[in-house]
A and B are shown apart, each in its own frame.
Chain A
Amino acid sequence: MLRRTFLHSAAGLTGLAATVSPAMALVEININKGNVEPLPIAVTDFVAGGDLGQRITDVIAADLKRSGLFAPVNKQAFIEKISNPDQPPRFEDWKVINAQALVTGRVSQEGDGRLRAEFRLWDTFAGQQMTGQQFYTQPENWRRVAHIIADAIYERITGEKGYFDTRVVYVAESGPKNARKRQLAIMDQDGANARALTNSNEIVLTPRFSPSRQEITYMSFEGQQPRVYLLQLETGQREVVGNFPGMTFAPRFSPDGQRVIMSLQQDGNANIYTMDLRSRTTTRLTSTAAIDTGPSYSPDGARIVFESDRGGRQQLYVMGADGSGQNRISFGDGSYSTPVWSPRGDLIAFTKQSGGKFSIGVMKPDGSGERILTTGFHNEGPTWAPNGRVLMFFRQPAGAGGPQLFSIDLTGYNEQQIQTAGYASDPAWSPLLE
């Protein structure tokens, strides 16, 4: 159980009016600008009995730094030592080291063993508390508390939802390229708490989260029969999705979690089908002598983007959720694949192959406004952070090495490698946890 409580202002400087219409003059980041100058923020060690306070603040600072929007100030520069986070800090001490925002907090153990963590976010130049919250949870959830606090700071200052309290499922790869072992794995978005979800010698590919965060759909070659499966994360229970007369692949959930959409291969052609998970009925959505695959729903569930080589090379197409009105949207030089609709609905991310390079890019759902975010020997398979501001993908080097995961901002800036124990591919970002 994780409980959240909002803390009222400790400063005594803000009255009711100031909190009801928040922060006209308070520090903020315009996330829509391309290369944002990171905001200097001081994240002080939470007051605590042990080292947990420092561990929590290290996770918060690392989240904020990796976002590219914040520059945590070196702790060596701090003048004031926060000993009582209920008292307003000495703002002058933080202004003089140019910390425009300040995070203070406390962590303690309750009598029943639960962890209590609280934080306050301060605007040092305005001399005001911007937000404050406290949490009760089990001690083993301490990293989640840190991510939730980082999300609260990110949201308060940027006006956008955060994405730190999330997980990523992916394919963990090991061994030489011509005898690669692949397992499904899950980790926190920062690479912590990684663990395997499968342990077999069968190939497993393309895990995707359900909107409920409780299950994933993926493809497995179990029994030499490549098919789409469901996996319940809490119980480990698995089941085949549907009883199709051929290879099923490229699965994703519908936004309401009630359907899985995927491709069915029959002879030389792949077409797109859905299966309703309650009624078990299947519906065929495309019917071409071509490879139609990579389907991804719009967040309102009304439309589907997919890739097809019906016109020769792979291109992106959009259709209604019933398969109606299939229209090509990509017309650039090269071929396009692995489309993924943004959780905000405004963009579609894709892999583009052109001139011997593999790029990650985005375009509007009508195909306009194409932008390439990163390009190189082989970048593939974008997935969106739940706030639609950051993408993760995998990058395969030339030669005998293996793929690694990277994230990049929608602006094309702030590319970062996600540290994994071995090779990793096919990342899929969860919604915010609950």
Chain B
Amino acid sequence: MSRTEVPAAGRMQTLARNPAIIALFMGLALAGCANKKNMPNSAGELGLNNATPGSTQDFTVNVGDRIFFDTDSTSIRADAAATLDKQAQWLQKYPNYAITIEGHADERGTREYNLALGARRAASTKQYLSSRGIPASRMKTISYGKEKPVAVCDDISCWSQNRRAVTVLGGAGM
């Protein structure tokens, strides 16, 4: 908007303005797509002995569906490698499952960087499973950055649970 001082003679200056009324709209509701639920991580919650071999429950309880990372790191730790080795064995035993590896970050980073960090964690997990014989064609990755924490608190123990990669089973029977 240009601004001109008013001459005392009173010549009017008129400037048009667009009302710019932005239409309200809602309803970008999308085709319902059930989100995968994070599975309980403790055997006790599920009843260890009830898991049917080859079931999602079996994978979550007896194998472990998630691994954890150090702060700002994407390296596969020794404990994570042990879990992934078991995942690879299980996936080779039940070859009908495709998987999606979800990468996550803790809240102690900025949003955009954490999206990339989660993607890196998912990628390094995929790479590890690939090195253990799981074909890349069975694996997809997605990063949720810091947007889907499982643990809510404000200390280090909590953040460490959120720095994770979760292997989600899909495609059973395919």
Contacts and interface: CB of A to CB of B under 8 A. Distances in A.
A249 B146 CA distance: 14
A129 B13 CA distance: 17
Interface string A190-210: 000001111111110110000
B26 A314 contact: no
Interface string B140-161: 0011100111111110000000
Contacts of B134: none
A279 interface: no
Given A177-B152, A378-B107, A294 B19 contact: no
Interface residues of B, number: 58
Consensus secondary structure, chain A interface:
mixed
B165 interface: no
Given A1-B19, A200-B28, A223-B30, A263 B112 contact: yes
A396 B23 contact: no
A6 B4 contact: yes
A7 B6 contact: yes
B8 A16 contact: yes
A289 to B, nearest CB: 11
Contacts of A71: none
B160 to A, nearest CB: 15
Contacts, number: 188
A422 to B, nearest CB: 16
Interface stretch (B48-56, B78-86, B89-97, B116-124): B116-124
Contact of A178 (B8, B13, B35, B151): B151
Contact of A233 (B4, B22, B152): B22
B74 A268 contact: yes
Consensus secondary structure, chain B interface:
loop
Given A2-B18, A3-B16, A291-B117, A202 B30 contact: yes
A399 interface: yes
A426 interface: yes
Contacts of A196: 26
A303 interface: no
A3 B14 contact: yes
Interface of A: 1-9, 14-16, 19-20, 22, 131-132, 137-138, 140-141, 144, 148, 155, 176-178, 180, 182, 186, 195-203, 205-206, 213, 221-224, 226, 233-236, 238, 247, 249-250, 263, 265, 267-270, 291, 293-294, 307, 309, 313-314, 337-338, 351, 353, 377-378, 380-381, 396, 398-400, 425-426, 432-434
27 contacts: A1-B16, A1-B19, A2-B17, A4-B1, A6-B4, A9-B6, A20-B7, A137-B19, A138-B19, A198-B28, A200-B30, A201-B35, A202-B30, A205-B111, A213-B20, A224-B33, A249-B116, A265-B115, A265-B119, A267-B119, A270-B116, A309-B113, A337-B112, A353-B109, A398-B154, A399-B154, A434-B20
